[in-house]
Amino acid sequence: MSLKGYWELTIGDFLDCIEGYRRRLQQEQELQDSVNYLLGQYISYAVNDPKKYPKNPFLSKNTKANTDYMLSPEQHELMARAKYGKKGKT
């Protein structure tokens, strides 16, 4: 935004700019949270069961994982073991 444009803004326009900025920050935080969640899944596999570590990224286009964000029962068990330190059947 130019300096002249800034000084010509009405209060309503300025508040709209602030709201848009707030929404953009919220979207960036949600994206970062999703990335962190996926990283946690990778770490869970790497630490708890390296043999089942995915060959392809979860969101790669050549897998069906890019449309299914639900965790499988195996993934839930791995995450529980990572969080609570419980040993499962091996």
**pLDDT number for residue 66:** 45
Which pTM does this prediction carry? 0.54
Measured CA distances, 72 to 36, 68, 78 (Å): 18, 10, 10
Report pLDDT for 62.
Answer: 60
Sign of the Cα torsion 77, 50, 48, 89 reads positive
| Sequential pLDDT tens for the chain (90 residues) | 788 888 999 999 999 999 999 999 999 999 999 999 999 999 999 999 888 888 888 877 764 544 445 667 777 777 777 777 755 554
